[in-house]
């Protein structure tokens, strides 16, 4: 492993000798400079992991060295040392990007710890940068399977709106890939270097959702033992994705509308507002205009969210994507599991293309993953794709003769039975919110056996 490089700058020869001897013994590659102007020249010629500079140097002070260092290499951490410390100077150094500020006499062990922390920060920044790069690669348009004209139209729209800051309302059935599209919008827009924060609004009751999104102050309610930042604040200068926005209550919708109108949030229990710079993307499994007509969603909030409406078609409306998606999932899962690529037999292609796919892309991926686990050879056969529905009497359910509503009812019933009527687990498997599942159970009058 390469040694971490340190540049020491101080016009005191004794201090330079002491620090360089100690740091070299601790495993650092150390270079020393007594003259500030010479040090600036060195910084233009070489990049160091850490720069340790005295605040008061002949001709050039430590603040100027700090500024020049950050101009040349933003990743280099700068530690200021001085015998004339003050709070104002410390604050100024931190504002200019100093990692830490140490006063003389110098505690060598403390200095070593500070350098180690600076190195840990560099590793963390590098890891975050690498992770963001991977996410951006994952969200590249060529990684989104869009063979069908319907999905090509969606991607064309995404490319046009990505650089806008306008709110986008993404509608589509469960499993169609709404969050994938939301991440693509973020990754290809002007906020790509900022955070992407996602939350399932249908999974939390109103009071917890408000606290989760807007934050709360200590003592705001029972259990609020400390102040919480909130996801809107976490997403500052980035994007927040509000999944299943149609499942929120009218009370919460009023508060969200105010955030969109004013660009400010108020934490639960607080008395002041705080400005946030966040792009809002929202999604809904149910068409929001239908919710507006039924009085379950505020019309003014709908207009605020749907500045740019985007509909993701279900898989049955873009059958040209089914086989390419299946091949994509095979490649991805084979790569993750380090196994030889598995091929699709002709009978599998026919079965995949003829199936209704009520669970859309998510259901297709699950079917492929399940088949890859079970198959022993290098080719999938039709019998490896387990996608038939079963009725309560365990007979084959002929979906071709049933309405979409009936198919959905039987599917929910089957998942609930599989999960022993654990509704939270069932909602997760179905890819819908807990509140949505409750509504579907009431709507379809689905009952547990024996009750």
Q: What pLDDT score does 450 carry? A: 55
Out of 156-165, 306-315, 401-410, least confident range: 401-410
Share of the chain above pLDDT 70, in %: 90
Residues 423, 367 share a domain = no
Q: Taking 60 as the threshold, does the pLDDT of residue 314 lie above it?
A: yes
Count Cβ atoms below 10 Å from residue 137 Cβ, excluding itself. Answer: 11
413 belongs to a structural domain: yes
Q: What pLDDT score does 451 carry? A: 56
Average pLDDT over residues 64-68: 85
- 314 burial via Cβ count (<10 Å: 0-12, 13-18, 19+): buried
Q: Is the dihedral of CA 363, 365, 366, 372 positive or negative?
A: positive
Residues 186, 113 share a domain = no
Q: Answer yes or no: are the C-beta atoms of 188 and 325 closer than 8 Å.
A: no
Residues 446, 335 share a domain = no
Average pLDDT over residues 60-67: 82
Nearest to 115 by CA among 160, 49, 60, 56: 49
pLDDT classification of 390: cutoffs 50, 70, 90: very low
pLDDT classification of 320: cutoffs 50, 70, 90: very high
Residues 249, 206 share a domain = yes
Residues 341, 303 share a domain = no
Average pLDDT over residues 254-268: 91
The b/e string for 250-262 (b: 16+ C-beta within 10 A; e otherwise) is eebbebbbebbee
Phi-psi category of 263—alpha, beta or left, where left has phi over 0 and alpha has psi -120 to 50? left
Residues 282, 266 share a domain = yes
Residues 244, 122 share a domain = no
Average pLDDT over residues 259-283: 90
Number of Cα atoms under 13 Å in the Cβ half of residue 449: 10
Count how many domains the chain has. Answer: 4
Q: Quickly list DSSP for 76-117.
A: -EEEEEESS--HHHHHHHHHTT-SEEEESSP-HHHHHHHHHH
Q: Taking 60 as the threshold, does the pLDDT of residue 247 lie above it?
A: yes
**CATH number assigned to the domain comprising residue 93:** 3.40.50.2300
146 belongs to a structural domain: no
Question: In this structure, are strands 379-380 and 29-33 parallel, antiparallel, or unpaired?
Answer: unpaired
Average pLDDT over residues 335-343: 85
**CATH number assigned to the domain comprising residue 336:** 1.10.8.60
Q: How far is CA 6 from CA 19, 30, 127, 403, 442, in A?
A: 11, 5, 21, 71, 67
62-72 vs 87-95: helix axis angle to the nearest 10? Answer: 10
Q: Taking 70 as the threshold, does the pLDDT of residue 418 lie above it?
A: yes
277 belongs to a structural domain: yes
pLDDT classification of 111: cutoffs 50, 70, 90: confident
Number of Cα atoms under 13 Å in the Cβ half of residue 45: 8
Residues 72, 174 share a domain = no
Out of 73-87, 221-235, 320-334, least confident range: 73-87
Residues 369, 231 share a domain = no
- Name 53's bridge partners: 9, 80
Q: Quickly list DSSP for 405-438.
A: HHHHHHHHHHHHHHTTT-HHHHHHHHTS-HHHHH
Q: What pLDDT score does 376 carry? A: 78
Q: How far is CA 395 from CA 102, 384, 392, 431, in A?
A: 76, 19, 8, 25
Q: What is the pLDDT of residues 134-179, one digit of tens each?
A: 655 555 666 688 889 999 999 999 999 999 999 999 999 999 999 9
Domain with 166 in it: 162-313
Q: Taking 90 as the threshold, does the pLDDT of residue 69 lie above it?
A: no
Residues 283, 255 share a domain = yes
Out of 100-114, 238-252, 392-406, 423-437, least confident range: 392-406
Q: Taking 70 as the threshold, does the pLDDT of residue 86 lie above it?
A: no
**CATH number assigned to the domain comprising residue 431:** 1.10.10.60
Task: Look over the chain and give the mean of its residue pLDDT values, rounded to a whole number.
Answer: 85
Last residue in a domain, options 81, 108, 131: 131
Last residue in a domain, options 313, 343, 368: 313
- 311 or 223, which is more confident: 311
Q: What is the pLDDT of residues 175-201, one digit of tens each?
A: 999 999 999 999 888 898 889 999 999
Taking the C-alpha atoms of residue 61 and residue 56, their distance in angstroms, rounded to an integer, is: 5
The pTM score is 0.62
């Amino acid at each position: 492993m390469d040694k971490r490089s340190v540049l020491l700058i101080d016009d005191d020869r004794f201090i330079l000798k002491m620090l360089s001897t100690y740091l070299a013994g601790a495993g650092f590659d150390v270079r020393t400079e007594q003259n500030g102007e010479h040090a600036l020249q060195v910084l233009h010629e070489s990049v160091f992991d850490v720069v340790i500079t005295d605040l008061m140097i002949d001709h050039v002070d430590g603040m100027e060295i700090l500024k020049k260092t950050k101009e040349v290499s933003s990743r280099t951490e700068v530690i200021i040392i001085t015998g004339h410390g003050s709070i104002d100077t410390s604050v100024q150094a931190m504002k200019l990007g100093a990692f830490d500020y140490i006063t003389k006499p110098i505690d060598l062990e403390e200095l070593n710890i500070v350098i180690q922390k600076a190195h840990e920060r560099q590793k963390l920044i590098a890891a975050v940068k690498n992770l963001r790069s991977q996410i951006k690669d994952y969200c590249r348009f060529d990684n989104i399977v869009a063979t069908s004209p319907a999905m090509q139209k969606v991607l064309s729209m995404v490319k046009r709106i990505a650089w806008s800051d306008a709110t986008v309302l993404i509608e589509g059935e469960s499993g169609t890939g709404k969050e994938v599209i939301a991440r693509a919008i973020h990754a290809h827009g002007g906020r790509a270097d900022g955070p992407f924060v996602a939350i399932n609004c249908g999974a939390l009751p109103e009071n917890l959702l408000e606290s989760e999104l807007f934050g709360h102050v200590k003592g705001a309610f029972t259990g609020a033992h400390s102040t919480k930042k909130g996801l809107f604040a976490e997403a500052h200068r980035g994007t927040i994705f509000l999944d299943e926005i149609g499942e929120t209550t009218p009370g919460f919708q009023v508060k969200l509308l105010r955030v969109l109108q004013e660009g400010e949030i108020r934490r639960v229990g607080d008395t002041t507002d705080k400005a946030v710079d966040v792009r809002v993307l929202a999604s809904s499994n149910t068409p929001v205009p239908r919710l507006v007509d039924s009085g379950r969603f505020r019309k003014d909030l709908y207009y605020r969210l749907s500045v740019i409406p985007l509909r993701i078609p279900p898989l049955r409306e873009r059958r040209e994507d089914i086989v390419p998606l299946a091949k994509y999932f095979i490649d991805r899962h084979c790569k993750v599991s380090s196994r030889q690529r598995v091929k699709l037999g002709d009978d599998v292609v026919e079965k995949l293309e003829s199936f209704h796919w009520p669970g859309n892309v998510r259901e297709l991926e699950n079917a492929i993953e399940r088949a890859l686990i079970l198959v022993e050879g290098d080719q999938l056969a039709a019998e490896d794709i387990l996608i038939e529905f079963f009725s309560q009497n365990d007979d084959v359910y002929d979906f071709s003769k049933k309405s979409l509503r009936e198919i959905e009812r039987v599917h929910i019933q089957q998942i609930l039975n599989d999960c022993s009527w654990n509704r939270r687990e069932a909602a997760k498997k179905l890819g819908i919110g807990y509140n949505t599942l409750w509504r579907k159970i009431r709507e379809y009058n689905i009952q547990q056996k024996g009750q």
